[in-house]
Structure 1
């Protein structure tokens, strides 16, 4: 059943039109104060409309934040999406969308203050002029935010190209969605007869599994040969923990992966607030793994 928060967030594209439409009207209302027989009436009406637009805009921003989290574009506990590469055109557009929306809200607060001052000092035309300039900037900023929202929904040349590249990359990558080889760790050779407690992996119970060539190399004290890989399965109180994988690449480097399809709520803070994790090199969170293994501190 859809809850009120989810329903509220999913209606973000509909909510956004109301405050944006009101803000677009403001410059015309303030301009009317110069030509109308009732300039003070127009200023007061503009102030009321600005207050409604600002309040509606803040609610719309909140719904957009929750919607981004529902779509897994914004990690839980964060206000902005994580952009780990330039190829993430959608995340970059969303980040700019949020920053510009916030800038518009700041302009909105400034315009409300200016309109209040203009209403209190109707004889000083400078305040009305400042209101006109401020509302034009406000409308322009939120108008651009709306344009960015349209790009995220309907796409443009950059986002469509990035989406096509991501689809092609997944077609050529059998493990783009799931770490297939790591999940088949039972077909590998175990390095330990029984699980051991690994301090380097959260103090969890762990057991190592290695390809045949890798097992021979590790037994002889040599590093993993090219193409070999090792998998570390972990448990906590009998519940499955993250699955770790290390692979020796042809260029002499090591690639790492971490897979945890259901992260317990109490441990999500350490995983960027995500409830499901599949990280692969060069994910920045795996740099610590590379450093630990390079220093020879990690167990197999």
Structure 2
């Protein structure tokens, strides 16, 4: 007999609450440009804005870990959902910057929240990580294996950056976002599509590791910007259409598009291809830069808290990142 539980037709997962947390230190483009200039690297606020739409980023200090950011975002999400940590039976953390090789960041979060006994594990899909983690938790709930799940995207991406590489160090920031999933008799998460193409590994990677107590390979982020841009716009359009098709929903019915907050030019190009007007696209990259797996939940939480996203609306969340990975989740709020 198969051990795989069937997807239940009478149970949906819904987002019951959200939360976010950003490090206290805010670094403007002007401040970053001055710091880089001291190293002989030329850039400016306008150069960064024109190419990325980023005005500032939050950077963690050296003692701050992904689990610490995750816990603060989680606490806010739990409070928003009216859920106690003791009610959780599943914690999934999406991160490319775990505190340790092991235990998982999710286990560290579990301990700090006091959610002892809940299943806890990490998902690593870089900037697609939150979408992957959300789809995973939804599957657990639809299969009857979870009744209260916490899904987090958390990154201290600044620790992976080459601060002498103008093409990458201006793009990223640190932060965490979280959502609580609860079962519902009414449709919540309607559809999810996940994809990867490992043959594209080289266009965005941090290809280093620890072996025998030494760093092997290059542990810093490397990116082929033009290749990533072209690939991202193409796959984000395709996966949005594919996800709507699975849900039986027309793109015109989507109230809000929340794409991965990497670059405003990628976001705008994707929206144009999908025919979604700018006023229905959530953009927060200007405020916190590319926070990898944290970017989508940060944007979702910002739009929920400022009243843009309202109950009953359809929200398309998208991720795209190293691996090469991409995916989308369509949810009724």
Report if TM-score (shorter chain) is over 0.5: no
TM-score, reference length from structure 1: 0.26
Q: Which has the higher strand share?
A: 2
TM-score, reference length from structure 2: 0.24
Rg larger in 1 or in 2?
A: 1
